[in-house]
With several copies, the nearest count.
Chain A
Amino acid sequence: MTLEEFLTARRDAGRALLVPYVTGGVAPGWTDVVRAYADAGADAVEIGLPFSDPMLDGVTIQEASDRAIAGGTTVTRILAELAALDVEVPLFAMTYSNLVFQKSAAAFCAALRASGLRGLIVPDSPLEEVGELAGAAAAEGLDLALMAAPSSSPERLREIAARSRGFVYAVTRMGTTGEDGGISAEAARLGRDLTALTDRPVLFGFGVSDPARAAELARHADGVVVASALMRRLLDGAGPRELGEYVASIRRALDRPLDREPDEQYAPLPRHRRRPDRQDPVGPLPRG
């Protein structure tokens, strides 16, 4: 089953999707964190392949990346450790273009595939640079997820929705990863726009810092990616058990029926939603 099939099936089963993140190699035994996430109700796990210059990451993930690199981690080693890991949910990689293009996109994708990963996301390979990589990923059966941002134009959103595989990563805000900052109205709008454009799961990422925010966001799309909130705890000394518990608390929040009044403008999404036929011509979206 592909990443996309897996996530779509769970979403269609009425479940709000939860994807926690861990930086590969951030500490010895980091794969136990992956397992703990899976056990705590994750629907997939995002594995960061650390890069020295993580342009889109805030201080927490920078620090995690630096720690992993300083500890001697390499992509090869991380992939080997993942190959030896057996968890029920799909894993996918998050990394930067420089690591992807080291030898070639094809070689990189083959290595991911060999280690059992199901997909990848590369924040600094936007639509215009993603062609070669998309081909290589498809050839290996990997889903290459694309990011959409509050600043993306309707035309770009349509293209992102069309070309993304696995899910669409909806960036909640104009900013880097990190915990600070609230959830903006533009995030909600972005979720609605994307879900209107594609049948693929749409996950929110950036600033999903606690169960309440996760639950609030999940009303406007299909689920959330949680990264900095977990990595901050990890860097502060939390082990797999505590991290698993935190993921479980988010899981519970996502599964709980909402007790607050639904937002007037952006009512919560029904799961099992019906998408517009992808062949249908789609007019320009109204923007706020």
Chain B
Amino acid sequence: MSEHALMSDPGTTGRFGDYGGRYVPESLIPACHEIEAAFRDAWADPGFRDRLTTLLTVYAGRPTPLTPARRLSRELGITLLLKREDLTHTGSHKINNVVGQALLAQRMGRRRLLAETGAGQHGVATATAAALLGLEATVFMGERDIERQELNVLRMNVLGAEVVPVTSGSRTLKDACNEAMRHWVASVGDSYYCVGSVMGPHPYPWMVREFQRVIGEEARAQCAAELPAAVPDYVVACIGGGSNAAGTFAGFVGTTARLVGVEAHGGAAATSGRSGVLHGFRSLVLQDDDGQVREAHSIAAGLDYPGIGPEHAHLRDDGRARYATVTDDEVVSALVRLARTEGILAALESSHALAWVIRAAESGGIAPGSTVLLTLSGRGDKDIASIRELL
């Protein structure tokens, strides 16, 4: 597949270089085919595109602004621009994808959305889109995440979604994915599995990237208006599964911008993972010598995932994007620093990207005067309780 342009249509096999594919039980194969066909059809249908654009605009608050972080830029000696996904309805980029998939589910005649969630943002977004379109929602969430992100659990309840606690394994996102897949097998006739990141079997990694592409396309146009050079030197985003990064990168992959994905130190699949197969796709996976998948550890529930979207694995191998890690401590101080210099409370997940920028700018890894676009994937209200103890 190396003759393909990066970040284009991965074809019917869903391969990004060596990665991707459709490693699911036979029971799910027809559903995957059906979804792929429905998505190809919808994506080529101006009526569907219109409906999606309308909802993203009048409902979800797009386009999101590009905010120059003036005081922090001055401190760091760079020009830092923030793509404000935190200002979308429900408070993170997850809504972009979910509105798209929910419209698709409706078009396919499904009456229920299934979803896994880590930080709860994707679960809230799914519950939201379900309510909006009159669908049911069942959200699988690890018990540990339920404790860490109680606020989001309550939000889902108020929105009318059923939240199913997952007690297996590490009781975090990875196990919620397993459980959602199992449930999907059992209810594939009336349920649509609304995957929350650029992962899962084909067509999900591609489809979710396409639904998140709006971030990168808006940002690209905004940078063109804002920056003398039109394109920033760096484009930085955090990586859980990698959807906000993929959506952002998609807008800049054809430019000279350096693309940087930032993972949690304890969930660094792109930097410490080996090739493997998990949750329906082949990618880089954190695993032990025997091939057992390791638990990820991150202060950010949304990054507690031992894999990475297959396209990111490919972008890494290709060298088009690089991937870095930051520690929990760096993340918390980045969060507080942004709050106090710009009045923006970023999600712990998004603060990973910021922590890398701060470190790189302060260590000279980013040259002074550079321009940096950072996707602020979500707001930090959900994290306040967890960082309270760390302040």
Contacts and interface: CB of A to CB of B under 8 A. Distances in A.
Q: Specify whether A and B are partners.
A: yes
Interface of A: 51-59, 62, 66, 69, 74-76, 96-99, 101-102, 123-129, 146-153, 156, 160, 171, 174-176
Interface of B: 13, 21-31, 168-169, 174-175, 178, 181-182, 185-189, 275-280, 282, 285, 287, 290-293
A127 B12 CA distance: 13
Contacts of A54: 178
Nearest to A171: B27
A228 to B, nearest CB: 13
Which of A55, A96, A176 counts the most B-chain CB atoms under 10 A from its CB?
A55
Given A75-B291, A102-B291, A124 B280 contact: yes
Contact of B26 (A76, A97, A148): A148
> Which among A69, A101, A148 has the highest number of chain B CB atoms within 10 Å?
A101
Contacts of A153: 30
Contacts of B187: 174
Nearest to B12: A128
A50 B186 CA distance: 22
Given A96-B277, A176-B185, A53 B178 contact: yes
Given A66-B169, A176-B186, A129 B27 contact: no
Contacts of B22: 126, 128-129
Contacts of B277: 96-98, 101, 124
A127 B30 CA distance: 12
Nearest to A69: B292
7 contacts: A52-B292, A97-B277, A97-B282, A124-B277, A147-B27, A160-B26, A174-B27
Contact of B25 (A53, A66, A123, A156): A123
A158 to B, nearest CB: 13
A56 B23 contact: no
Contacts of B26: 123, 126-127, 146-149, 151-152, 156, 160, 171
Contacts of B24: 55, 124, 126
Given A76-B290, A99-B291, 8 more contacts: A53-B175, A69-B292, A96-B277, A128-B13, A147-B26, A151-B188, A153-B30, A175-B27
Which residue of A128, A147, A160 has the most chain B CB atoms within 10 A of its CB atom? A128
Contact of B30 (A52, A58, A152): A152
Nearest first, the 7 A-B pairs at minimum CB distance are A149-B27, A97-B277, A175-B186, A52-B292, A102-B291, A74-B290, A149-B26
